[in-house]
Amino acid sequence: MRQWLKFGHSMTAISFLGSVIVLWVMIAQLPPPEGALEVYVAQRQLMAHIASMVLMPSLLISLLFGMASMAAVSGFHSAPWAWAKLVTTVLMLEGSLLGIQSPIKREAVLAEKALLDPAHIAGLAQNLSSEQMSLVLIGVVAMANVALGVWRPRFRAKTTAST
């Protein structure tokens, strides 16, 4: 059981980090909406699908696998690294909802409106740098989460000998 939980947790973590990287690359490759609106809209729609169908489900399933592992393996109950992984996963969940998925979906909807009404074009691509920074920050937290699981630090307080 423990191996299946670890396998599931690892696979969903790979999916999550992979989708973060793909979204980051896609944002970097977006054409200016004024010059290639149809391409911009198609790419934004694809990004919204990746965020909804890969990014968020893989993160939620990874969280479930992690919580199941904590419940099933008694050694994880008192392990500070396991609790640190839970905290970083919750940060990733909240950050992904607010900093990645919501802005990507909002921009996809606005891009679709711009196809019907060119007046909306001016509002497109206003937050590309903040979208990229959100992806970088969530990616760094995700890598820290993986590092906690691989190296499992002890987090022990150092005691000093009194003289």
- pLDDT tens digits for 23-62? 999 999 999 999 999 999 999 999 999 999 999 999 999 9
Helix (H, G, I), strand (E, B) or coil at 86: helix
- Over residues 78-82, mean pLDDT: 89
Average predicted confidence (pLDDT) for the chain: 92
At 55, give phi and psi (nearest 5°): -55, -60
Yes or no: say if 106 and 124 are a contact pair by the CB < 8 Å rule: no
pLDDT band at 158 (very low <50, low <70, confident <90, very high): low
Q: CA-CA distance, 27 to 139, in Å (whole number)?
A: 15
Q: Which two tokens stand for residue 108?
A: 């996809």
Percentage of the chain lying above the pLDDT 70 cut: 94
Q: CA-CA distance, 132 to 143, in Å (whole number)?
A: 16
pLDDT at 140 over 80: yes
pTM higher than the cut 0.85: yes
Yes or no: say if 59 and 92 are a contact pair by the CB < 8 Å rule: yes
